């Protein structure tokens, strides 16, 4: 998609998400469910399921630099809808980059059309990640037998396939983990809903239990023992996209705070004329600007074909800290009324907190960054 086509498309998406998706905010918050019967046709008509799917497979084929503004705008409209689109597209990109040609042909056209969707089944309730997984995959002729439990698996309510990580060699550490494509209706796979989340309401983050689930050897995503490498590759980009989600939430919170400061009058003058509020606004704007530049740098490097493990984790970490500070100050700008659902700032405040946890906590991001620099990476390499 060339620049002119993209700009026309981006403008159309921005207009329609506010006129057609934003009105669902109160319904989603009240019901704690996204009314997919009404929302999915809109997402499909806008092409939002296939943003990261190559055009040859029926998608929009956006670059990361083109995708980021659309994802950020969805974060402004509603966090639950943003999560659904984000996870769907991130895993579509994983299939594009990591899947075999046969796997791509089988999945990507349906993913672009919204009739198929892939979820990332990594996190476990009883074990860690990477080499610390408890799930196992035992070879049995031309099949593998999967056993284990996963939880907090986003889009588990409508995913048709899961990228399921399991140990194929318990004694090989990170080289003993493999990734498998598992169909939703595979015998022995059960899916349960978990309690609703604090924010980003409406999305489902379920529990998946594999009990002697058989998958064909052709359902390996890549080669046996490459699971950790594939996980890191997928998470690398997704961390930048979580930061883009933080950016959208922060931008919306800043806009609402500025608007409120102009119209709210106390003791004879608008809040915007008070030095304390001016400081809040200046600090919020600084965070938004810095985060925006970090994301743009990551997107540019990724689109150029570079790996960005340190940059991705730094940007994700800064994003979660920035959106936390921005929504804190926005809430203070609104005062007590901001703590009620009279204004969207209350929702944005809750939505922002999911960004702390998506694709790894701050401690994990710090570990990735430190490991990169101790291993010889420097800003001169950037």
238, 163: one domain? no
Interatomic CA distance for residues 281 and 329, integer angstroms: 8
- Residue among 25, 204, 358, 359 flagged as catalytic: 359
Q: State how many domains the chain has.
A: 3
246, 319: one domain? yes
Kindly give the parts of the chain with pLDDT less than 50.
none
110, 187: one domain? no
Q: Provide CB contacts within 8 A for 357, sequence distance 6+.
A: none
Q: Where residue 192 sits, what CATH number does that domain have?
A: 2.40.110.10
295, 276: one domain? yes
Q: Look at residues 207, 225, 243 and tell me which one is the last residue of a structural domain.
A: 225
Percent of the chain past pLDDT 90, that is, above it, reads 87
Half-sphere exposure of 190 (CA within 13 A, CB side): 9
* 43 three-state secondary structure: helix
Q: Give the pLDDT confidence score for residue 264 in this predicted structure.
A: 97
134, 215: one domain? yes
Query: How many CB atoms lie under 10 A from the CB of residue 44?
Result: 15
Residues of the domain holding 176: 119-225
Q: Is 174 a catalytic residue?
A: no
245, 349: one domain? yes
Q: Look at residues 99, 117, 135 and tell me which one is the last residue of a structural domain.
A: 117
Q: Give the pLDDT confidence score for residue 1 in this predicted structure.
A: 80
* Residue given tokens 């299939």 in the structure block: 95
User: Pick from 270, 370, 282, 358: which is nearest to 319 by CA?
Assistant: 358
Q: Look at residues 117, 152, 171 and tell me which one is the last residue of a structural domain.
A: 117
Q: Give the pLDDT confidence score for residue 232 in this predicted structure.
A: 85
259, 213: one domain? no
243, 190: one domain? no
92, 127: one domain? no
Q: For the segment 305-329, what is each residue's pLDDT rounded down to a tens digit?
A: 999 999 999 999 999 999 999 999 9
250, 276: one domain? yes
Q: For the segment 127-165, what is each residue's pLDDT rounded down to a tens digit?
A: 987 778 999 999 999 999 999 999 999 999 999 999 999
Q: Give the pLDDT confidence score for residue 381 in this predicted structure.
A: 74
């Amino acid at each position: 998609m060339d620049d002119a086509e993209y700009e026309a498309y981006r403008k159309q998406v921005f207009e329609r998400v506010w006129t057609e998706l934003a009105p669902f905010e109160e319904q989603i918050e009240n019901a704690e469910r996204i009314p997919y019967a009404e929302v999915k046709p809109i997402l499909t008509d806008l092409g939002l399921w296939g943003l990261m799917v190559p055009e040859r497979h029926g998608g929009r084929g956006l670059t990361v630099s083109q995708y980021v503004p659309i994802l950020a705008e969805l974060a402004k409209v509603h966090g639950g809808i943003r999560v659904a689109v984000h996870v769907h597209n991130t895993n579509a990109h994983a299939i594009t980059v990591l899947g075999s040609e046969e796997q791509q042909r089988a999945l990507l056209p349906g993913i672009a059309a919204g009739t198929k969707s892939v979820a990332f089944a990594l996190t476990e309730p009883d074990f860690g990640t990477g080499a610390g997984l408890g799930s196992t995959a035992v070879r049995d002729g031309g099949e593998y037998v999967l056993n284990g439990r996963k939880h907090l698996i986003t889009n588990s309510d409508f995913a048709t396939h899961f990228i399921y990580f399991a140990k194929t060699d318990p004694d090989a550490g990170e080289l003993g983990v493999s990734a498998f494509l598992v169909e939703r209706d595979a015998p022995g796979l059960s899916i349960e809903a978990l309690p609703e989340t604090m924010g980003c309401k409406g999305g489902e983050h379920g529990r998946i239990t594999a009990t002697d689930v058989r998958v064909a050897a052709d359902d390996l995503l890549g080669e046996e023992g490459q699971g950790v490498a594939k996980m890191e590759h997928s998470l690398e980009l997704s961390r930048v996209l979580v930061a883009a989600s933080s950016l959208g939430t922060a931008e919306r919170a800043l806009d609402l705070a500025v608007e409120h400061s102009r119209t709210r009058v106390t003791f004879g003058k608008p809040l915007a004329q008070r030095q304390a509020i001016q400081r809040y606004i200046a600090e919020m704007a600084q965070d938004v600007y810095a985060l925006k530049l970090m994301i743009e740098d990551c997107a540019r490097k990724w689109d150029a074909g570079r790996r960005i493990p340190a940059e991705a984790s730094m940007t994700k970490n800064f994003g979660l800290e920035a959106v936390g500070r921005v929504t804190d100050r926005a809430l203070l700008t609104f005062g007590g009324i901001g703590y009620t659902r009279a204004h969207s700032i209350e929702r944005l405040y809750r939505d922002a907190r999911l960004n702390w946890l998506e694709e790894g906590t701050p401690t994990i991001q710090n570990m990735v960054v430190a490991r990169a620099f101790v291993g010889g990476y420097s800003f001169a390499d950037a």
